[in-house]
Amino acid sequence: MPSTEISTEIPVMYFDTDAASVVHNIVYLRFIETARTLLAIQIGMSFEEIARTNIHPVVTRTEIDYKRPALLGDTVRINGRISEWSGIRFWCTFEVVRPRDGALLVTCKQSLALVQMPQGRPVRLPAGFPENFSLP
Amino acid sequence: MPSTEISTEIPVMYFDTDAASVVHNIVYLRFIETARTLLAIQIGMSFEEIARTNIHPVVTRTEIDYKRPALLGDTVRINGRISEWSGIRFWCTFEVVRPRDGALLVTCKQSLALVQMPQGRPVRLPAGFPENFSLP
Amino acid sequence: MPSTEISTEIPVMYFDTDAASVVHNIVYLRFIETARTLLAIQIGMSFEEIARTNIHPVVTRTEIDYKRPALLGDTVRINGRISEWSGIRFWCTFEVVRPRDGALLVTCKQSLALVQMPQGRPVRLPAGFPENFSLP
Amino acid sequence: MPSTEISTEIPVMYFDTDAASVVHNIVYLRFIETARTLLAIQIGMSFEEIARTNIHPVVTRTEIDYKRPALLGDTVRINGRISEWSGIRFWCTFEVVRPRDGALLVTCKQSLALVQMPQGRPVRLPAGFPENFSLP
């Protein structure tokens, strides 16, 4: 059974930083989306199925707390997991840490839904979710 | 006395959209940051003072709810205001609407602090805040 | 007859800058795309027609020279025009200047084609191009 | 002696794509910058030295040709190398390919300089460049 947890490292690039010499606040959400996508693929999400069904995973809410900044030259680690789920919605929880000194940089919680596009209609989570993300 | 409210329009570009044919969830935070920066300038924030003092406004928490998506070709309006403030922190509240049909797309609340870089030490808000954002 | 030239101003935001305290090199291409899109709309490009026909304007080549950097707090002006066109391709020429001191920051040339998606097949430019950008 | 070539793979994310269902043209330059940075680190670039000296590698020109688009679900491979160098400038050459079908998606050439900030003064390449990128 695939794990509903993910952990991935990303090196900080110039384009991730801003003139305050830290990683820009919006960029952590890009890091988190990368981790979330790798997690979704791990439990069976397929972009072919998404293209075929036009059902897309959609973020419906984000809460993010910034505790300490990452710097140019850092590598950050994003730990994420699916923490709750109901009929049409699931929640993911993330933390961004800096392995070099163990600092906790960011915590984040996101709720997502599967949405039939272009109508924007929510669709029930697949049977067996979260171990199974295969679209019908 | 300068207004502590802002309202600004931004046309959606290709680079704001994704393969689900909607504006990507992270992009609304760029729209909101543009509105927040224009608001900060309106109440006296100066990038010259920021460069001189190395005190930067820093987002410490974001809550954002996605209600309906913007599409390529839309122009979105971001309404924002400073809604609360204390000694070292203030909160801004935003909504992103679509003037064409009046749809409410996104609501967002952010807390910010003024931070002395590179130490990362919070600094008291300027006297007269939020009508005054001039750094000491 | 609509002008095939555009000039638009964009204020620099934190997310446009990097840890070298300048606007990041990739960001000027976002500024340029904004100007290019406004120019295309000015000569009749319609996102409704794009959605209906699934014919998209596609960048096929970019040449960009970086002369001087923009800084946080600057407003930049992007001047652009359609400089050449043939049966299935056109070229746009841009310069990014800083009105405050008249500095020339960036020059750029891009070639574009109209492409029928998802096949990726080039389509002839509309009759009357560049004054007319209305898709068939 | 460290190699002056790099090859790295990046999975395409939603935020890399646009409403034409392809990777947005600007995004390939982010992919290329990631490869270029990994290459620079490989030959000895250190962000600690950059922070200490305030000498930054700066892109002075980019030429990029778009041949075929990457799609959501693709993993792209960026191959890069330092192809030429002189006293104060060097050129890197990149190609972005799709390992799944061997398609060549993008070719790119960039010239860079080492620049003393904030003055913006070019600095001579380190002795032993390109095998050595250690700043004085």
pLDDT digits (tens, 9 = 90+) for D5-42: 999 999 999 999 999 999 999 999 999 999 999 999 99
Query: Are A111 and A89 in contact, with CB atoms under 8 Å apart?
Result: yes
- Residues on chain D bordering chain B, Cβ-to-Cβ distance under 8 angstroms: 14-15, 17-22, 24, 26, 71-72
Alpha-carbon gap, residue C62 to D60, rounded angstroms: 14
Mean pLDDT confidence for C79-108: 97
Give the architecture-level CATH label for domain D5-123.
Roll (3.10)
Q: What is the pLDDT of residue C88?
A: 94
Give the number of C-alpha atoms closer than 13 A to the C-alpha of residue D63, restricted to the C-beta side: 5
Asked if B63 lies within 8 A of A68 by C-beta distance, the reply is: no
Q: What is the pLDDT of residue B2?
A: 86
Whole-prediction pTM value?
0.97
Does residue B121 sit in helix, strand or coil? strand
Nearest-Cα residue of chain D relative to residue C71: D118
Alpha-carbon gap, residue D75 to D98, rounded angstroms: 7
Write out pLDDT tens, residues D71-124.
Answer: 999 999 999 999 999 999 999 999 999 999 999 999 999 999 999 998 999 999
User: Which residues does chain C have within 8 Å of residue B50's beta carbon, measured at their own beta carbons?
Assistant: 72-73
A50-60 CB burial, b ≥16 within 10 A, e <16: bbeeebbbbbb
pLDDT of C2 > 90? The answer is no
Alpha-carbon gap, residue D52 to D135, rounded angstroms: 10
- Residues on chain C bordering chain B, Cβ-to-Cβ distance under 8 angstroms: 11, 13-15, 30, 33-34, 37-38, 46-48, 50-51, 71-73
Nearest-Cα residue of chain D relative to residue A21: D51
Mean pLDDT taken over chain C: 96
Question: Which residues pair with residue D97 across a beta bridge?
Answer: D77, D104
**Torsion from C-alpha of D71, D74, D79, D80, nearest 10 degrees:** 50
Q: What is the pLDDT of residue D129?
A: 95
Best B23, B24, B30 member to test D by mutation, with max D CBs in 10 Å, is: B24
User: Which residues does chain A have within 8 Å of residue C19's beta carbon, measured at their own beta carbons?
Assistant: 14, 17-19, 21-22, 71-72
CA distance B92 to chain D (A): 26
Write out pLDDT tens, residues A97-106.
Answer: 999 999 999 9
pLDDT above 70 as % of chain C? 100
Q: What is the pLDDT of residue D7?
A: 98
Indicate the domain borders of chain C: 5-123
- The residue among B103 and C1 whose pLDDT is bigger is B103
Asked if D72 lies within 8 A of B21 by C-beta distance, the reply is: no
Nearest-Cα residue of chain B relative to residue C30: B15
Q: What is the pLDDT of residue B135?
A: 86
pLDDT of C41 > 90? The answer is yes
